[in-house]
Every structure is written in structure tokens, then in C-alpha cells.
Amino acid sequence: MGVLQSVSPIDWLRLVLALVLYLGPGYAIASFYDTQNRFDKTMTTALATVLALAFWSVLLAWLHGFGIKLSPERVFLITGLGWGIFLIRYQVWKTNGWTDLTQIFWADTSRIVLWFILLASMGVSLYVLRNTVAALGSDGFHHTLLAQTIAEQGGLPDNLLPLTSVASFTYHFGFHGFVATIIWLTGLSAITLTPILAQILIAVAALEVAFFVETVTHKRKAAPISAAIVGLMAVFPAYFVNWSRDTQLTGLLVSPVILALVWQWTASQKFDWRSVPVMALLAAGMALSHYRVAVLTVIGFILIVIVNVVMDEKKRIMWLQLGLRLLALGGLTGLFVAAWGWHVLKARQLAYPVVMSEQLYQPFTLSRWNDHVLYYPTNIPLLILLALALTWGWWRRERLVIALSVWGVVAMWLSGPHLLNIYMDNGTVFASSYVPVAVLVGWFGATVLEWLALRFQPLYWLGIIGLCALTAQGAIAAANIVEPDAAYVQPADLRAMAWISRNTPDTAYFMVNTLHFGFWPDYVIGSDAGFWLPVLAKRKNITAPMSYPIERNIQPDYAAQTAALDQLQGDLTSPTALMLLEQAGITYIYVGARGGIISVQKLLDSPVFKLEFHDGSAYVFRFLGTR
């Protein structure tokens, strides 16, 4: 039974209510941003959503700093207070009261189309999980583990002991905090919620890019076009599901919003002080969600300031005002992340660093993208539209086109192997490029459609039909975007994990199928559901979450020991292998339904391994030792 089938109708209702509650603090903060004069209800929702994400991230960081734990009761209280503040201020804003809430959906045709696209994006994104029992790809395990750990501990952990050997926790956590908060509000498991919430965020990503394009261009018709590109047409973020690249997606929710506010801020005739706290909170939330996206966004921030201020002669006299506000913005952002920064500094003194050999070549290069990404059916049409948008925009000297295109070029250059690659690789930049592409194509599409509507009605409707056809083509591709080998966990593994949790001691230590990355031979992770033992069965295995190279470890030789076990290439019956298993303290072997390098037949034929459980292609062996 997959994650979608495991959620009952009542659970779905609880999930919807939990998501609404989660947004309470975001709406409360947005109510102080003069949104009634800046945005309609839909765009206020877009702003409130990322403000909620930033709020919970910063709150978790500071609560961890003071040693304060959250509980379901406290989370309900915080969300209730948020909604209470918003509703009180909402009644002050408007004389129309509750009837004005209908403007969220029914303001005009463009809003109806936008919400239809958002709901369709959510539907297609969730449909992708129809055969999935847990988060996909190599990242799925540690995202689920971190969300589960935060929920169980009532806040951010200091380490990931005892189920792994990781003695510190310095990883970005915005997505995991989001999942943990929904766990507290619903009581559903991390295994169920992690993939579901990640797919829901694709629709949120579409809304946030729509916020960007509408705020900057003031074209309402651009919003649904950009949203359709993000949610239904483009290969990214849809393809993220195959890797569970959830933290990058979370950072990319915040990035377009903060850049839109920066654009609005610098394009005006005065630098409004009220924007500074909101932008600082968003910047902090983005930094706590994904470090590399934060670096990418800083580059965009700088270019927007250059385009809107430096290149505008009328604003050059405002440099002092800008400088003071930028200092305030940086200082306030630093204050918001100070608790986490202090924690990261202290964590660097714990246990042992993970000592690994040098990489053979740079990871995350564009050459590593597979054909499914490179030849996605909507790539060529979107590239043609992007080329037209860039040509038209540069000819018209549109500041938006100049800023976003230069942003892309500068980011790709800086992500090269000799510059910022360690902090912002070109793979991250490429996968994040759906944001500027969707904005530029959305702006261009709306501009062309507005012109055709006034002059050539038949061509206008032909353009609408063409966009609908491209959206439908993208939706069909997105619905079938999951790669066949992306699922580490399969139904037989869940049954095996249930048996392991009932029939093995808590101290059981498992050898599992492993793989090492070609660019880094001693960067070893699990390759099937054995990787997931700490989440699914609460048992330790020889591997660690993929973030382990940047963390501290309780074993001084962790990387070398794990690499030595991986280099056995699945033959666990040789004298060398038996010696290494005994030295490591291995007591069990798990072979998942996905399979891997471990030879099941050799284990069956060996007298030192006893078959304890078998279900389909999932096996549990007990290591009897050689003495």
C-alpha cells in the first residue's frame, strides 16, 4: 500500500486543516506589511506562506538555542495566536468583513485560471506518488529521518545518535521543520508526510513564482502562465521527486518572493523601512532552508540593486538611504540566524571530522543529467519562448530581462569548479533555473497576448490554445516523471522492517547494500531499503545520512571503514569480508527488494549466515560469526 492509499479521508481532512493552521503566523506577520495596499488576497496568501515557513524555521532555531521543546499543544497554541492576530487586524483593515475573503479565488478571470492551475499542479504532483511507499531517491531517507527526529524530540536535534554514527547536526532544516510541524498538528507519520508535503510544495512553488512575476511586471495575466510553467510544464521542479530534492525546492519557495520584494523596494522612489524586517525574516528562512539557494539568491539580490538603483541616475543620490537600510537588513537577518550560527560553530568541536579522500572530479555538473531531463518533451518549446523573451526584452532594454539573464550567466560562471562550486554548484543553478525561465516566459507571454487581444483576436485565441496544449503536454509528462529505479523502499521492505522491529534486539547492527559515487570513491551510502533501517525499523546500519561528510562522527575512521565494507562488492563470505564484519560489530545482513551488490546466494550457501526472514526479494540474515 502506497503513501497515498495509507491516508484515509479523515486524515486528508486533518492534513488540510493542519496546513491552514500552519499558515497562521505567516498571515499575522503579513498583516503588518501593508498588504492591503500592495497585494490582493491571492498574493497575500503567497507572501504569508513563505513568511510562515521562515517563522517556523527561525523559531525552531531559537527554541533549540534556549533548550525549549515544542509539543502538539504548543504548536496549536502558536498557530491559534497567529490566526487570532491576523483576524483582528483583518477586521481593522476592511469594512466588508468576511465576504471579502471570496477575492482569494474569484477576483477576476486571471485569478480563476491561476487557482485552477495551482490545484491541477497539486493534483498531478500527488498523482506521481501513486506507486510510492516512501520518499524516493538517495535524499529521501535523510529528509524523512530528520523530520521524524525533530518531531520526536520536540525540536532540532544536537546529533543523530544512536541510530546513526553522526555526532552533530548542522544541516539546513526548513523543510524538515515544516514536515515536523505538520506531524505535530496531524499525528501522521514522517514516512507518510515527507513525500506528500514535498509534492504539495510544487504547487506552492508555482504560486510563489506567480507572485514574483506579477509583483515585478504588474501583469496579472503573467501569473497563471508562470505558474503553469512551474507547476505543470517544466522538467524542474517536477523531476525533484526522483531525488527527493526537497530542501532545494523549499529554498526556492522563498527566493522568488524575497527577490520580488527587493525589486518592489528598490524600484520605488523611497526605500520603505517597513520592508526591512519582512525581507530579513525571509532571508533568514531561506538560509535555514537551503544554503546553496541562499548564495544564489544573494547574487540575484545584488544584481537587482544594481539594475534598479545604480543604473538609475535619479536614485544615485539615495545611496546613503540604501546603505543604511541594507545594513539594517543584514544585521536583522544575522540576528534571526544567530542562534543557529552559534550552534553550528559549537558543533564543529564535537567528536571527529569525517576524513575523506579528494574528489576525482566535480560533482553535480550538467554532464550528469540523464536523458529524461535533457530531452523532456517541453524543453524545446520553453527554450524557444525563452529565446524570444530574451530577444524582445534586451531590444526593449527591460530591466527585468537584463537582471534575470545576467543573474543566470553570473550564477553559472560563479558555480564553476574554481570559484563558488563548493557553495553553489552548477547543477543546483541549472535545476533552479525554472524560476527565471518561468518569470521571463510569463512576462513575455502576457505581453504578447495583451497585444494580440487588441489587434488580432484570432491569433490571441490561437496563443491561448497553444499555451493550453503545452501545459497539457507537460502535465502528462509530469504525471509519469518518476524513474523506475528511484524507489529505494518497496512494499516487501515494509513487511521486512516490521519483522525486524519485532524480532531483532535494539542493538542489532546491519550490513546493507551500498554504493559509492563515481566522483568520490569513499562517499558511500545505502542503495536499497537497508539504507532506511533507522527510520523504518529503528535499527542502526553501517551507512549514514548523505550529509555525513559535513558533520562530525563518533568514529574517527568512519569513512575508511565504510569504504572498506563497500569495496567488498557484495561478497560477504570471503575471509577478508568476515574479518571486517566482525571488527565492525555487524550482527545482521539486510538485502532489500530493490537489490544491490550483496550476493544472496553466497549468504544462503555459507554456514556463518542464517536466513531469518524472506519476503519476495527482501532478506534478513543473522551473522553467526566465525568463532
CA dihedral over 605, 606, 612, 615, signed as positive or negative: negative
Q: Identify which has the larger pLDDT, 313 or 272.
A: 272
Backbone angles phi, psi at 489, to 5 degrees: -105, 130
Query: What angle is formed at CA 285 by the lines to CA 307 and CA 281, rounded to 5 degrees?
Result: 70
Residue 265's pLDDT is what? 85
Cell of 445: 507571454
Higher-scoring residue by pLDDT: 273, 271: 273
Alpha carbons 220 and 242: distance in angstroms, whole number: 33
Q: C-alpha cell of 60? A: 525552531
Give the Cα separation of 256 and 264 in Å (integer). Answer: 12
514-517 and 552-553 strand pairing? unpaired
pLDDT band per the 50, 70, 90 thresholds, residue 418: low
**Domain limits of the chain?**
9-479, 491-623
| Percent of the chain whose predicted confidence (pLDDT) is above 70 | 92
Place 422 in a pLDDT band, splitting at 50, 70 and 90.
low
pLDDT value for 361: 58
Q: Mean pLDDT over all residues of the chain? A: 92
Cα radius of gyration rounded to whole Å, the chain: 25
Distance, CA of 135 to CA of 198 (rounded, Å)? 9
How far apart are alpha carbons 104 and 100 in whole angstroms?
Answer: 8
Least confident of 24-33, 302-311, 465-474, 573-582: 302-311
pLDDT bucket at 107, cuts 50 / 70 / 90:
low
Instruction: Please check whether residue 370 is in contact with residue 376, taking contact to mean a CB–CB distance below 8 angstroms.
Output: no
CB atoms under 10 Å from CB of 455, counted, come to: 9
Query: CB-hemisphere CA count at 13 Å for 309?
Result: 23
197 pLDDT higher than 90: yes
Average pLDDT over residues 198-209: 98
**Strand 509-512 with 588-591, pairing:** parallel
**Number of DSSP helices (H) and strands (E) in the chain, helices first:** 27, 9
Across 464-469, average pLDDT: 96
Quote the distance between the C-alpha of residue 226 and its chain's center.
Answer: 19
Residue 524's Cα: distance from chain center in Å? 23
Q: pLDDT at position 119, please?
A: 98
- Please determine, for residue 420, whether its predicted confidence score (pLDDT) is greater than 80: no
Residue 407 has pLDDT above 90, yes or no: yes
Report DSSP letters for 516-584, one per residue: EETTEEEEEEE-SGGGGHHHHTS-EES---TTGGGSEESSTTHHHHHHHHHTTTT---SHHHHHHHHHH
Q: Cell 482569494 appears where?
A: 104
Tell me the three state secondary structure of residue 609. Answer: strand
For residue 622, which of 613, 609, 605, 607 has the smallest C-alpha distance? 609
Specify the 3-state DSSP secondary structure of 612: strand
Q: Check residue 426 and give its pLDDT.
A: 82
- Strand (E) or helix (H) holding 514: strand 514-517
Q: Considering only 98-102, 324-328, 504-508, 559-563, which range has the smallest mean pLDDT?
A: 98-102
Please choose, from the candidates 177, 182, 186, 144, the residue with its C-alpha nearest in 3D space to the C-alpha of residue 60: 177
Least trusted range by pLDDT, from 107-116, 391-400, 555-564, 612-621:
107-116
Take residue 176 and report the three cell numbers written for it: 524538515
pLDDT at 146: 98
Please list, in sequence order, all residues whose beta carbon lies within 8 angstroms of the beta carbon of residue 603, skipping any fewer than 6 positions away: 572, 573, 589, 591, 609, 611, 619, 621
Average pLDDT for 110-139: 96
| pLDDT given at position 104 | 52
- Which DSSP state fits 161? T
Here the cell at position 554 is 563518533
> Per-residue pLDDT for 8 more than 60?
yes
Give, in order, the Cα–Cα distances in Å from 128 to each of 233, 382, 593.
15, 22, 21
DSSP 364-426: S-GGG--HHHHT-TTHHHHHHHHHHHHHHHHHHT-HHHHHHHHHHHHHHHHTSTTTTTTTS-H
Tell me the C-alpha distance between 217 and 214, whole Å. Answer: 5
Nearest Cα neighbor of 493 from 479, 506, 510 is 510
- The C-alpha cell at 447 is 505581453
State the Cα–Cα distance between residues 240 and 198, nearest whole angstrom.
9
CA dihedral sign, ordered 142, 147, 148, 149: positive
At a CB cut-off of 8 Å and minimum separation 6, what does 288 contact?
54, 57, 58, 61, 172, 173, 174, 337, 340
Mean pLDDT of 82-102: 69
What span, in angstroms and rounded, lies between the C-alpha atoms of 115 and 207? 9
Query: In the numeric block, which cell numbers belong to residue 152?
Result: 520526536
Please report the pLDDT score of residue 164 as a whole number.
97
pLDDT for the residue numbered 367: 60
What pLDDT does residue 102 have?
A: 52
Above 80 in pLDDT, residue 55?
Answer: yes
Q: Which of 87-96, 258-267, 461-470 has the lowest mean pLDDT?
A: 87-96
pLDDT at 319: 73
Residue 362 pLDDT: 60
Q: Supply angle C-alpha 138, 141, 145, rounded to 5.
A: 155
CA-to-CA separations, 262 to 73, 214, 270, 282, 397, in angstroms, rounded: 36, 14, 12, 11, 20
Output the pLDDT for position 585. 95
- Residue that is written with C-alpha cell 524513474 in the block: 483
Distances (CA, A) of 532 to 136, 239, 488, 494: 11, 22, 8, 10
Q: Give the integer Cα–Cα distance in Å for 551 and 6.
A: 34
Angle at alpha carbon of residue 62, lines to 57 and 67, rounded to 5°: 125
More confident residue, 341 or 362: 341
**This prediction's pTM:** 0.95
pLDDT of residue 325: 84
